């Protein structure tokens, strides 16, 4: 009799567990649908505002267009397209410093960095101009590289196909040059393993693919540019892991000189722990 009661009890427990699981799934589905509908509503609202701003811009009403675009930023503060457009219109209005402030909010945008280099050059800020043109170069812009060399005689960074020797990294007492698929795979595997060992990323429960653009300067320092927008704490942890992944990196060589190299892309898939 006791055994029968136990079996019945276990049956009830299983039913309750399945019911609870289904309830949780329904709750997640409802929340997902709610978020999707809200995003659709916001998109329709911002698209309407953007259309109005574009019409005003076409009529040369720059102030009116800028006023409308600011309404989008109130709704979506990090909307990259709107920030760029606001920077462009501010520049056309002669509001140079304000234009720069908008472009600075887009550190992974190649054209925004180029514009900041041009603005800094226009304002006579030589070092700032070099810094922004270098960042633009890190994002793959060869026109920025040409400006750095011809206007500033700056050869601190070169592209991989221009150098005599690619950077080398130290692993288990041996140096590996980043010139073969095997060594590149070893390099990326070391970085990926460090992600797996990060308690913070486990705690943050973040998943998804993150695209990293890696730059190695002439001192062997690695610089990580994250090309996909992610939450700030995840961003900072990923950047820290990558930039401190190796005890020693020897810079690229060009005509027996140390030079920085710009840049290569490394996709990293982060998976939520079970």
The Cα 61–Cα 56 span in angstroms is 5
What domains lie within the chain, and their CATH numbers?
A: 168-270 (3.30.2420)
Q: How confident is the model at residue 204 (pLDDT cuts 50, 70, 90)?
A: low
Segment 165-191, tens digit of pLDDT: 999 999 999 999 998 999 999 998 898
Q: What is the mean pLDDT of residues 104-114?
A: 94
Give the pLDDT confidence score for residue 265 in this predicted structure. 83
Give the pLDDT confidence score for residue 8 in this predicted structure. 46
Q: What is the mean pLDDT of residues 101-112?
A: 94
Task: For residue 67, give both structure tokens.
Answer: 């006023």
Q: What is the mean pLDDT of residues 236-261?
A: 92
The answer to whether residue 145 scores a pLDDT higher than 60 is yes
The answer to whether residue 23 scores a pLDDT higher than 70 is no
Q: What is the mean pLDDT of residues 54-64?
A: 96
CA triple 162-214-272, angle to 5 deg: 150
The answer to whether residue 6 scores a pLDDT higher than 50 is no
Give the pLDDT confidence score for residue 37 in this predicted structure. 81
């Amino acid at each position: 009799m006791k055994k029968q009661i136990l079996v019945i009890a276990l049956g009830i427990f299983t039913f309750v567990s399945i019911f609870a699981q289904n309830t949780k799934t329904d709750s997640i589905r409802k929340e997902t649908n709610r978020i999707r509908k809200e995003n659709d509503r916001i998109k329709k609202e911002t698209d309407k505002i953007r259309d109005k701003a574009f019409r005003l811009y076409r009529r040369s009403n720059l102030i009116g267009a800028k006023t409308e675009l600011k309404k989008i930023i109130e709704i979506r503060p990090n909307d990259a397209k709107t920030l760029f457009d606001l920077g462009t219109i501010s520049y056309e209005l002669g509001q140079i410093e304000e234009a720069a402030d908008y472009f600075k909010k887009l550190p992974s945008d190649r054209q925004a960095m180029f514009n900041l280099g041009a603005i800094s050059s226009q304002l006579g800020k030589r070092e700032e101009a070099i810094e922004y043109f270098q960042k633009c170069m890190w994002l793959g812009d060869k026109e920025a590289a040409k400006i750095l060399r011809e206007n500033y005689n700056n050869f601190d960074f070169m592209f991989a196909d221009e150098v005599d020797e690619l950077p080398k990294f130290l692993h288990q007492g041996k140096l590996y040059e980043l010139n073969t698929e095997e060594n590149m795979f070893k390099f990326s595997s070391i970085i990926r393993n460090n992600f797996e060992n990060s308690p913070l990323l486990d705690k943050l429960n973040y998943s998804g693919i993150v695209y990293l653009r890696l730059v190695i300067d002439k001192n062997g320092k690695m610089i990580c540019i994250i090309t996909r927008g992610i939450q700030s704490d995840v961003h900072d942890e990923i950047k820290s892991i990558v930039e401190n992944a190796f005890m020693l990196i020897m810079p690229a060589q060009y005509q027996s000189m140390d030079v920085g190299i710009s840049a290569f892309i490394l996709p990293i898939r982060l998976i939520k722990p079970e």
